Amino acid sequence: MAKYQSAWSKSIPVREQVHIFGRLMGYTKKYWKQFTMALVGAALLAGMNIALPYVLQVFMDKYLTNKSATVQIILIFAVVYAFGTIMKGLFQFMQNFAFQMGAERGLEDVRRALFKKLHTLGMRYFDQVPAGSIVSRVTNDTMTLADFWNVILSVIVGMFSVISSFIAMWTLSPRIALYVLAFMPLLIFAIWYYSQYSSKVYRHMREKLSELNTKLNESIEGIGIIQQFRQENRITKEFETTNNDYLETRNAMIKTNSLLLSPIINLLYSLGLVVVLWAFGAMSMDTVVKAGVVYAFTQYVANFFNPMTNMMDSLSSLQDGIVAGSRIFHILDETEYAPAQNPGANATITKGKIEFRHVSFAYDGKHDILHDISFIANPGETVALVGHTGSGKSSIINVMMRFYEFGTGQILIDDKDIRDYPMPELRQKLGLVLQDSFMFYGDISSNIRLFNENITDEQVEAAAKFVQADSFIEKLPNKYHARVIEGGAQFSSGERQLLSFARTIVTDPKILVLDEATANIDTETEALIQEGLRRLRKGRTSIAIAHRLSTIQDANLILVLDAGRIIERGTHEELLAKHGRYYDMYELQNGTITE
């Protein structure tokens, strides 16, 4: 059992299981009509399970054993029994159909809640949780809930059957009915013990399935690197290890179910049947026992125990569903939200002035990545951020774009706290161009307007022309309606970046944020868009991360960062004159500088 020691593999306490169960059932409240219909169907089905043995009991005791049956009587009983069987099938359809309709709608609500929640979480959450694990919870765990709803239906039907069967047995023989009822504590104990033990097994199984999905997701996303560096054998071995771990958890589940499910219930049922037959045998020594009564009673005993077997069989799915529910609620209860704005935030960006005042920031909330960052970008000015990898350039962009909450200090836009602006205002007025452009399924036009129908085709084409993306778009068979496959893989990195430029320009932002925006563009393409960028920056405040120092020589202010601190600042000429870090970087890229 030592291998089941992770946080996810601990047994879920009964109180927590009940709480999770209640929350899951809360998603079905809106669909009470469907569930009410299912309950009615279950009650009618239980009634038919009582009525059909009674019909045969009457036939056997009144006509069959007395040899008084006629063709007409046999025909009547046959028709009645056949009609009852048909009605039983209809009631079963009624309960299943109504319940599944309500359950599927509840499941849809769970998926919707998960999807919405994920878009409210901060980037720190996604830094800490693997994408494969998140996908596993949204897909596999929600699908597991479908089996969970089936368990609920099985329990409801089973309860109706158990209660109605006991009432029927009581009407035939109260004393023998109590003998059967004496097995109930053993049944309850078996169910309780199974739920305690199996929850740990199922939780560990879910954890390993999540790891398997994460490994598969990484393999697909990094297939190019894997093949380039000949890592196929290594990644295959890692996958096999994870796959074998998952197989072990599945085997543990199979062993648990094989030992604790049907065998126990079948044993108790057999013992119960022996007790019933023994009781009727003892009764027959003193009085006449009708064969029809014995037949009906044994059928009711079967109807009493069989639902228990079904419920125990379903407990595996119930435990799986409880574990899946706990993983789902782990996301829904996550408090790592995206940075929040101040209450009543309604400011509007009009000029585009940006000011950092002694800003510090830590990704983990403990160890600062940025230290005492201060600078001002006046309206229309360009501030460039340069430095080696890990110096803190992208972190400045991340806190300014409100992807992360900064620690100490202030970030001001137009002399107002950045938290005084509603998030839609920031997203509209701050145009971001990343080094890696993400393309959505769709066409070129929808990727430029990002599915914003308020942006016209004319605006889309004007934006593309502005960054000279029209030079390759117009050559495509369907032009702006050309299909875009996953990630825009049919376009070169430079073409994708041009589309990203057009996407930013079409919203007419007040502030431009360029995160090494020309890093993936070849020299020829860069020459095409540099003039466009200069025109774009005119009248707009720009914050630009630059790898190629030749692209930011005209910046009003250049900040040189190292280990999260600003170590130099000034214009291109001023920094060269200092013969400091910037001078060394520029000389490294462009050769010896002639004084």
Question: Which domains are seen in the chain, by residue range?
Answer: 15-333 (1.20.1560.10), 380-407+416-590 (3.40.50.300)
DSSP letter at 11 equals P
Supply φ then ψ for residue 357, to 5 degrees. -120, 100
Nearest-angstrom CA–CA distance, 419 and 377: 18
Q: Which residues contact 230 (CB under 8 A, 6 or more apart)?
A: none
How do residues 470-510 score in pLDDT, each as one tens digit? 878 888 888 888 888 776 777 777 777 788 888 888 888 88
Nearest-angstrom CA–CA distance, 440 and 451: 10
User: Which amino acid, 391?
Assistant: S
Assign 119 to helix, strand or coil: coil
Nearest-angstrom CA–CA distance, 399 and 113: 27
Pairing of strands 557-562, 430-433: unpaired
Question: How sure is the predictor about 260, in pLDDT bands with cuts at 50, 70 and 90?
Answer: low
Q: Is 18 exposed, middle or buried (0-12, 13-18, 19+ CB in 10 A)?
A: exposed
Task: Kindly tell me the sign of the dihedral angle through the C-alpha atoms of 121, 124, 125, 129.
Answer: positive
At residue 412, the pLDDT reads: 92
State yes or no: pLDDT of 1 exceeds 50. no
C-alpha radius of gyration, the chain, whole number:
35
User: Closest Cα partner for 566 from 439, 395, 436?
Assistant: 395
Pairing of strands 511-515, 354-361: unpaired
pTM: 0.62
Q: What is the mean pLDDT of the chain?
A: 80
Nearest-angstrom CA–CA distance, 495 and 471: 10
State yes or no: pLDDT of 357 exceeds 90. yes
The three-point CA angle 466-468-469 to 5° equals 110
Q: Which two tokens stand for residue 562?
A: 């190292």
Assign 169 to helix, strand or coil: helix
Four-point Cα dihedral 144, 148, 150, 151, nearest 10: 140
Q: Which two tokens stand for residue 111?
A: 């998926």
User: Closest Cα partner for 534 from 552, 560, 509?
Assistant: 552
More confident residue, 351 or 252: 351
Q: Are 559 and 383 in contact (CB under 8 A)?
A: yes
Nearest-angstrom CA–CA distance, 89 and 397: 64
Supply φ then ψ for residue 375, to 5 degrees. -170, 165
Nearest-angstrom CA–CA distance, 56 and 66: 14
Nearest-angstrom CA–CA distance, 403 and 416: 19
Q: Which two tokens stand for residue 257?
A: 């179910």
How do residues 136-155 score in pLDDT, each as one tens digit? 778 778 877 877 777 777 77
Q: Are 314 and 154 in contact (CB under 8 A)?
A: yes
How do residues 215-238 score in pLDDT, each as one tens digit? 887 777 777 667 666 677 878 888
